[in-house]
Amino acid sequence: MQRLNRNSWIMLVGSIAVAVALVTLIPYYGLVGGHQEHGVTAAGPLSASSHRYEILPDGVDMVMTAESDTDTATITAIQTHMQDEAARFRAGDYADEMAMVSAELIASLRDHQADITVTVVAAGATSTIQLRSSDAATVARLTAWASQISAEHTGHTPNP
């Protein structure tokens, strides 16, 4: 068996790193699979909005606001998007193609779905998904989930 020299090892390791990056980033940027389906709407009317996560003593608020309170197309898109997201959460689907959330955490939330109340509140240019629980351990799971997603989406942790 032939032994690899230093340059060959560098090329091998570099090739593996590039392959891993491509496998990870292609779905993220919507080139194939992954967030492509989810991102069709996000690239359109939802691009004129902002979102944030608020950590509360009994759960998490996901808040999405149109940049203009007179932009009815964006407001309608936000309301539809938030209703769709809430339906996923009610079904126990907490995965997010745009964030690297721990599969263990997602499974834990799904396993404790009965402890989570999901409500959508729309007021003016803002729609909020309220994820609430009276179980402290479930609230901790929701907080960890929101923190991971917020860090991936916005680069910072949610507002306490």
pLDDT tens digits for range 14-35: 667 666 555 554 444 433 333 3
Which DSSP letter does residue 159 get?
Answer: B
Q: Are 146 and 132 in contact (CB under 8 A)?
A: no
> Tokens in use for 49?
């909005």
Taking the C-alpha atoms of residue 69 and residue 52, their distance in angstroms, rounded to an integer, is 17
Q: Which residues of the chain have pLDDT under 50?
A: 25-43, 156-157
pLDDT in tens, 106-120: 888 999 999 999 999
pTM, 2 dp: 0.68
Beta-sheet strands, E only, within 92-125 = 117-123
Structure tokens at 73: 């197309």
